[in-house]
Amino acid sequence: MTRNPSANFAPDPPPADDIALEQALARLQQALEAERGDEFWGAMLDGVRAMSAAAAAGLWHLTPGNRNPADPEAPPTPVGMQKVRVVGSGAAFSPDVEQELRDLSSQLDPGHVSHLNTPDGRWLALAVWQPAGNTAGNAAPRLVLAVCGHGDHERANRGATVLGLALHVAERAREQREAGQARRQADHLHQALDLMLVLQPERRFVSAAMRLVNELAARFRCDRVSLGLLHHGSMRLRAISHTEKFDHKTDASLALISAMEEAVDQGTEIQVPAPEDATWIDRDHKAYARSQGLGHVLSLPLFPPGHGVGSGLSDEAARSAREDAGDSDSDDRQEAESVGAITLERESRPFDPEEAAALRIIADQAVRLLLDLHRTDRWFGARWAATARRGVARLLGPEHTWWKLLGALLAAGLLLLIFGKGNYRIEGDFTVRAGELSHVVSPFDGFLEEALVRPGDAVQTGQVILRLDRRDLLLQRQATLADAAAHRGAMLRAEASADLAAMRVESARLEQANAQLELIEFRLQQSELRAPFDGVVVEGDLEQQIGAPLRQGDSLVQIARLDDLHLELRIDERDIQELQPGRSGRVAFTSQPGIRFPMEVESVEPAARVEEGGNLFVARAQFLTDQPAPWWRPGMTGIAKVDAGRRSYWWIVTHRTADFIRLRWWWW
């Protein structure tokens, strides 16, 4: 299998038999002159097959594969192909050939052609065309033209050359069609604007409606034109061309109203007799045409401003694009609530598509003027009632449901804020304090011998927690005992010698030695420091200070009683008037924010403390739990919220701002 690299062709037609070439060129010229997309592609494929001497020519829709931007590593979506038309031998495009066609077309850019030869003697040439141009992006739908036949490499190259010419013909046809559409749209707009200039001076609804139907009857050579508007859900005739007065209850009027309602209910133009591809229901139109002996009837529903000209033009452009792609689906008008209808009647000549498009634009342009005059050309009571009705309908109607739901929720929320009440809570920081805290201090100057506890250890009453070095005290005691013995012996000798003065001196010295000995014994007893009560060591890690000198009165260890913990609340000055003894609340610890503990305020200090950020009042509170949690420790912090009564949600949300304004902007 041999493939030719992609190339952008702009070649001259290949040499061929004169008669066959003339026939092929005639078919291409016929394609250029075709107004419908199916006629164009039928003539195009016939001409391409004849010029390339191929067995078959075909047209496919191609949807290139693309990658997911959110997942670049994911494989791209597969290339999609849908057959539109094949001329010649349909069996030439077998499944194998179509698969080869899919592989080649996925590699070609729009405007390029390629060809290949198969080992069994067949050849395939294809071209990719993107109707919207190369600027539409790689993921835009494209068309694939292909020819297939039997022959050598020269025939395949000839087929590729013919397809290159076909691309230019298709682009030229698209440009001609777009130019024709633009001219037709300009003509339609010109007719609509010209009619609006005629209607603009009218200041009364009845005269404007009569002028409209008379002008439409004259310009489009209609036997009769009728205008109807909806009033409280039912159709009413407002004007009939060349008829100043008419009876609304005659059989002809009722049949005409039924036909108008039929077009309004379906929201689309209805024509009798209907085209072959029509999908609307026209039973009432046929009944009206039979009863009045009419040959052709056309009804156009009137849409409110904003659903007219713009949508009409986009529908026509969309229809043209579908014809280019070979899709003959009926156009879908944007759904909108109709406000009336115009019915046109002819006896001899049918309404062609160009007239229907022009009438659609005129109707969309005229509806705004008619509705404005219809609203204003009434007495003030009717105008006021209509305005009120429209306002209530917009408020209670089904349109803008999400906005209305949002407004209802906001209104309900505002009412809840104003009239609903909730618990107002004062917020402040707290610190856990022990009910009793004892400082174990050094009883005398000395050295630390042993530390038996660390912070966090539980201790019992009388438990030894620290030992001081006693060696100096023991030496002092021995020296003092020796001095006391010496003074006692001297006192006895003085007594034996009747030396009263010496005896008194030695007796005083003996008493001094005994006192010193008692002091030493007392310090020996104090060298073992004991816990004053059951509690937990909260401060004093002295293991690294063994042998360190101590001075009398130095705080060595702090012991707290855990069975009597309380809270120290710090409340901002702005909320102190709401804080009273007896109020309850809840606290959450910084270490356990998911658990709440009840508490009650016991007392409030009378004076404020000046701290960073403002004045704070300190209050004492007690836990309302039977047993403290085992992980509670003095010094822990968190957030406390004290209940201060029920207030309206509006006051809770706005009282801070209101107090600030009252404080800053008072003048009396």
Does position 325 have pLDDT exceeding 70, yes or no? no
Tell me the average pLDDT across 625-645.
Answer: 87
Written in H, E and C, the secondary structure of 346-357 is ECCCCCCHHHHH
Q: What percent of the chain has pLDDT over 90?
A: 11
**Whether the Cβ atoms of residue 226 and residue 213 lie closer than 8 Å to each other:** yes
Binned at pLDDT 50, 70 and 90, residue 307 comes out as low
What pLDDT shows up at residue 589?
94
**What does pLDDT average to over the chain?**
79
What pLDDT shows up at residue 668?
61
Give 129-135's long-range contacts (Cβ < 8 A, gap of 24+).
Answer: 129/167, 129/170, 129/171, 131/174, 131/321, 131/324, 131/325, 132/321, 134/109, 134/110
Does position 224 have pLDDT exceeding 70, yes or no? yes
**Alpha helices (H) along 230-352:** 251-266, 283-292, 309-324
User: pLDDT tens-digit profile of 329-374?
Assistant: 334 344 457 889 999 998 888 888 888 888 888 888 888 888 888 8
Q: 56-63 and 142-150: which strand pairing?
A: antiparallel
Tell me the average pLDDT across 574-592.
Answer: 89
What pLDDT shows up at residue 587?
93
Tell me the average pLDDT across 248-271.
Answer: 90
Tell me the average pLDDT across 441-453.
Answer: 81
Domains of the chain: 2-66+77-179 (3.30.450), 200-391 (3.30.450.40), 437-559 (2.40.50.100), 561-664 (2.40.30.170)
- In terms of pLDDT, which residue wins out, 84 or 287? 287
Does position 184 have pLDDT exceeding 50, yes or no? yes
| Cis peptide bond N-terminal to 95, omega within 30 | no
Identify the top-confidence range among 13-27, 185-199, 416-430: 416-430
**Whether the Cβ atoms of residue 138 and residue 66 lie closer than 8 Å to each other:** yes
| Alpha carbon distance 327, 658 (integer Å) | 68
Tell me if residue 491 falls in helix, strand or coil: helix
Does position 67 have pLDDT exceeding 80, yes or no? no
User: pLDDT tens-digit profile of 128-167?
Assistant: 888 754 444 555 568 888 888 887 778 888 888 888 887 8
Query: How far is C-alpha 384 from the geometric centre of its chain's CA atoms?
Result: 41
Threshold 0.95, pTM exceeds: no
Residues 487, 492, 495, 500, Cα dihedral to 10°: 0
